[in-house]
Amino acid sequence: MNILIVEDDLEIAQLLQQTLEPEGFNCHHAADGLAAISAFREHQPDLIILDLMLPGLDGLEVCARIRQQPGDKDPYILMLTARGEEIDRVIGLSTGADDYLVKPFSPRELVARVRALLRRSLRQGGQENMHRTAHFTLNLDRHTASRYLGESPEPLDLTALEFNLLSTLMSYPGRVWSRSQLIDRLWGNDFFGDERVVDTHVARLRKKVEADPTQPQFVKTVVGVGYKFVDEPAAD
């Protein structure tokens, strides 16, 4: 697994690298936002450890740009910051980060967070190779998604979190998922932010999968409870 460390403090970057490489990860380092974008394109990492406060482009902008131009891999993003305010956590997750770790942190906690993120894709892929309905196909092994609203399939450009959100909803069509259940599936037990961040990601997903996001046909709100996915079964 390739990990890109984006950190302008060289001592912290070296500590991260010295912590992760003995665990079997291949690490690359970028010291500022522009270098991070370049390194992302060059190395196609499986996961990015991204500092929030960077010279040039800050971590939020780097995260947003990476999500707008995914390459062969759509990496998980673990955001680091010295800030502990909840609003920064919510903004980071809303921008497309998958998890959030506040400095100072222990090396053991860092490794646990990294492994938890990387296990998500392996666990999703091991359950079922495909999710298919009349209007959608998700290939869990290749991490690709397509929508069928016309005669030809339309590839969906989803972030890793959006893909996992849609995969979770499609895994049990018609089941209603509460915000806390979705948080547990997407972020795990380490999430301590506002549950309303789920609404932000659902809104972003709807913009990509619905013909009219203001009148959702597939990702529906169950008022006072949560969200569910509704579609007809795929034709045999």
Partnered with residue 177 across adjacent β-strands are 227
Distances (CA, A) of 209 to 71, 155, 165: 20, 10, 12
Higher pLDDT, residue 95 or 206: 206
Report which residue type is found at 4: L
Q: Kindly report, residue by residue over 174-200, the tens digit of the pLDDT.
A: 888 898 888 887 877 666 667 788 899
Q: By percentage, how much of the chain surpasses pLDDT 70?
A: 84
Q: Residues 176, 216: contact at Cβ < 8 Å?
A: no
pLDDT of residue 81: 80
In this predicted structure, what is the pLDDT of residue 93? 65
The whole-number pLDDT of residue 189 equals 63
Average pLDDT of the segment spanning 105-134: 72
Distance CA 21, CA 186 (A): 26
Q: Assess whether pLDDT exceeds 70 at residue 124.
A: no
pLDDT in tens, 50-95: 998 898 888 889 988 888 775 566 788 898 887 665 556 666 666 7
Check pLDDT > 80 for residue 22.
Answer: yes
Residues in the chain: 236
Give CA–CA dist 164/56, Å, rounded.
31
Q: Residue 39: its pLDDT value, please?
A: 94
Question: Has residue 4 got a pLDDT over 60?
Answer: yes
Taking the C-alpha atoms of residue 137 and residue 167, their distance in angstroms, rounded to an integer, is: 10
pLDDT at 226: 92
Stated pTM of the model: 0.55
pLDDT tens digits for range 144-167: 899 987 777 889 998 888 988 999
Place of tokens 């502990």: 84
